Structures are given as structure tokens and as C-alpha cells.
Amino acid sequence: MKLLFIVLDGLGDRPIPEYGGMTPLEYADTPNMDKFASLGMNGLLHVIAPGVTPGSDTAHLALFGADPFEFYTGRGPFEAAGLGLDVKEGDVAFRTNFATIDENCIIKDRRAGRIKNGTRELAELFDGMKVDDIQILLKAGTEHRAALILRGPGLSDQVSENDPHVEGNKPYEFKPLDESESAKKTASVLNKFAKRASSILSEATINKDREKNGLLPANYFLIRGAGKVPKLPNFEEEYCLETACVAGGGLYKGIARMLGMHIIEDERLTGGITTDLAAKFDVALDSLQNYDFIFVHVKGTDNFGHDGDVQGKTEFIKKVDKELARFLPDNYKEDLVVMITGDHSSPCSFKDHSADPVPILICSPDCRRDEVEKFGESYAVKGNLGHVLGKHIMGIALNEMRLVQKFGA
């Protein structure tokens, strides 16, 4: 028995007056999702808890059964993992910007002129660097963005940032945020690193060339978002499942990697509203041959919600639905558990995340079907999953896979 877990980011919405009070999901023609709903169990999902508005990071932790109140230490570790850094328990991870300072150490641009090229080479200058007994791991992301990891004994994430968040100021010194020796040590390492990094960056050919060409040199690191890397549950170890992540966004891949999933790399896997949905679900279908549990992340629904684009969200949902036909029992002949939901609601009227619950459906060959016939916020109310919490859905899905882990004897 295999599991296909599809997360439509920001799926949930609110009644749209022009749709006669239906939501985009309810208004969209979605015969395939409706088929899964009618064959399966339906409910309303509170990803973290009723009334709590999830972020994308905390939401995905909760969906995978990793209580964000326990495991969420900041976004740094997940962004670092998303860039492909091999984060380890105990590492302290940061988000960082390549920035520009002048000869008096005044910040001229917090994003080094939104530098497009060369950051990968600049980051490689730090390969193998150590500050005291602490190893430095650095990886460039898109534009001016990068992730920094400190690895070694006696580190803490209780340190302030050096980013004043305005230009024309000097960067701050890093300071310990508590009395611990580990916080003092981490602040000291960061201060030494920022200084040495600035020298190294200033001497780099790429930056000399940028200056010659009238571009701002990327000669400083502004560092923020300290988070100690938590030990997340490991799917493969805990459930003896071969798991795969089919996603575009770095955050989602990062969380999946930290949970021990295999990340399917394919350049067609992107995260925007123009993503190739057919390719994404083709990859998911292929992956079902080699993996037991496929996590598919689709970002576009959330983007339309943030833009308040009702029609765009509706059309995008229809496009997703079309691609799901390949997983219907008539077309996919192996035993399969299908779970479809969102990581949170992003109502078009909010243009942001909300705490509204998201519809969820779980369909397996011999599940206890309920009477719900369509997938949607108001239909799900009558489903037999009732109101369900994010932290419980993996257990419910694993039960449908008959992967029973008895508590007690």
C-alpha cells in the first residue's frame, strides 16, 4: 500500500459573493477531487490548532507530525536545508544576505545591489573555513540570499543578529541573548566570522570586477534568523517507508530533507503559478514505482490567495484537478492511499494566511467512506474525519496503509 500526499498550499478560502457564497475550491469544476472525496473520508483540518494561523514552515512540520511547538526554532535551519546544506542536529543555522558596506563600515545596500551572479563562487571561498573550533558552512541561494551554518561544540541560537534592517548604519555586533557560555561563544564566533568574511569578500576578484563595472561589491554578510537545528522524526527510520518529495520551493524541500525524505530533483519541478503541473504529477506517478510515500507540494494556490486573485485561484485549482485523474482507482491499479489538503487557508479576501481550517480528504481502498460527495470547505463539515489536527493526519494515513504501530501491548 502506497501513500500519495498532495498539499495545495493555501488551498482554503472564504465565501466569494460572486460565486454565490461558494469558495474557489467549491466553485471550481473538480471532478477528480470530488471522486476521491466520494470514495474517501472527509473532514476539516486545523493544521496547528483551531484559531492558529500557520506559517508555511510550521504548517509543514505539523502536517508531518512534528509538533512545531517542539521542533520549530526559527526558519534558518529549514532554509539552509532547502538550499541543499546537509544540516545536522545541533548545528546553528542562519539566513544571511550578501550586502555592501563602504570603507567606514556603513551599510550602503543590504542586498549588494540585488546581486544576480557570482554568489555561488563567493560562497565557495569559505569552503573548509573554521573559526576557533567551529566549522563554517555557507551556501548561496537566489540573488543576494544565502544560508550559513555553524557546526561544532557548545553553540547556541540565543544570539542577536547583525542586521540593523536599515541602510546608512553600521552592522550591529552579535550579542549573546542569555547568560550561557554557549551563547557567548556563538556571538564571539559570529563577530570573528563577519570581520574575516568581509576581508575575504573585499579581496575577491568578482567584487573587484563589480566595482570596476560600477556595481556594488558583495563584501559583507548580514546574518539573522538563528535557529538550532532540531532533530526531526525520520520517516524512513520510524516507519520503514521509502519517502520522496516532489516540490519546487526550497523551504518545502528543506523540511522534507530534514525529515529524511529523498528529494526528487527535476528542473521542471518549480513552485510558482506557471509551474508545469503535468510534469509535477508525472514525476509523482513515476516516483510511486520506487517509493512508498510521495509528498507533492503545489504552491500556486497560495500565490493567487496572496494576490487576492479569485479567478486565478479557481482556474489553477481546476488545472490541478485535471492532473489528478491518473491516480483514480480506474486508472491507477495498485493499492493507493490518497490524501489531499492544504497547509493553511489563504483567503483571497485576506491576501494572507488565515486560521480557517482546510478541507482534507483521505481515500483508501477499504476506508470507512462517508456521505460527502464533493471536495470543499462546506461539504467537508459532514465528513467522518470531523475536525482533525495536523499532528494526527500522518497517523490516520499510516493506519490506512495498515502500518500499525501499536502503543502498548
Give contact residues for a copy of itself (rule: CB under 8 A): 14-15, 21, 23, 44, 48-59, 68, 72, 75, 349-350, 352-356, 366-370, 377-378, 381, 384, 386-389, 392-399, 402, 404-409
What is the grid cell recorded at 123? Answer: 560562497
Q: Using CA atoms, how far apart are residues 30 and 28, in angstroms rounded to an integer?
A: 6
Closest CA to 30 of 321, 329, 370: 321
Q: Considering the complex, what minimum distance in angstroms separates the CB of residue 405 from a copy of itself?
A: 6
Q: Considering the complex, what minimum distance in angstroms separates the CB of residue 334 from a copy of itself?
A: 18
What is the grid cell recorded at 154? Answer: 557548545
In the complex with a copy of itself, the residue whose CB is nearer, 68 or 217, is 68
Q: Considering the complex, what minimum distance in angstroms separates the CB of residue 113 from a copy of itself?
A: 25
Q: Considering the complex, what minimum distance in angstroms separates the CB of residue 123 from a copy of itself?
A: 23
Report the Cα 101 to chain-centroid distance in Å: 31
- Positive or negative CA dihedral for 302, 374, 314, 281? positive
In the complex with a copy of itself, the residue whose CB is nearer, 332 or 350, is 350
Name beta bridge partners: 12. 345
- Cβ(176)–Cβ(156) under 8 Å? yes
Q: Considering the complex, what minimum distance in angstroms separates the CB of residue 312 from a copy of itself?
A: 19
Q: Considering the complex, what minimum distance in angstroms separates the CB of residue 60 from a copy of itself?
A: 9
In the complex with a copy of itself, the residue whose CB is nearer, 26 or 34, is 26
- Cβ(270)–Cβ(300) under 8 Å? no
Instruction: Give whole-number Cα distances, 2 to 83, 327, 385, in Å.
Output: 28, 12, 20
Instruction: Give whole-number Cα distances, 248 to 8, 289, 303, 394, in Å.
Output: 13, 21, 14, 22
Q: Considering the complex, what minimum distance in angstroms separates the CB of residue 44 from a copy of itself?
A: 7
Q: Considering the complex, what minimum distance in angstroms separates the CB of residue 407 from a copy of itself?
A: 5
Q: Going by C-beta distance under 8 Å and a sequence separation of 6 or more, which residues neighbour residue 20? A: none
In the complex with a copy of itself, the residue whose CB is nearer, 200 or 396, is 396
What is the grid cell recorded at 311? Answer: 479567478
DSSP conformation class of 265:
P
Q: Using CA atoms, how far apart are residues 19 and 26, in angstroms rounded to an integer?
A: 9
The number of residues making up the chain comes to 409
Dihedral class, residue 260 (left if φ above 0, else alpha if ψ from -120 to 50, else beta): left
What is the grid cell recorded at 31? Answer: 471532478
In the complex with a copy of itself, the residue whose CB is nearer, 243 or 354, is 354
In this structure, what are the phi and psi dihedrals at residue 14, rounded to the nearest 5 degrees?
-120, 165
Closest CA to 144 of 182, 93, 109: 109
Q: Considering the complex, what minimum distance in angstroms separates the CB of residue 197 from a copy of itself?
A: 25
In the complex with a copy of itself, the residue whose CB is nearer, 49 or 105, is 49
- Cβ(343)–Cβ(393) under 8 Å? no
In the complex with a copy of itself, the residue whose CB is nearer, 236 or 352, is 352
Q: Considering the complex, what minimum distance in angstroms separates the CB of residue 359 from a copy of itself?
A: 11
- Cβ(397)–Cβ(5) under 8 Å? yes
In the complex with a copy of itself, the residue whose CB is nearer, 125 or 396, is 396
In the complex with a copy of itself, the residue whose CB is nearer, 41 or 273, is 41
In the complex with a copy of itself, the residue whose CB is nearer, 15 or 84, is 15
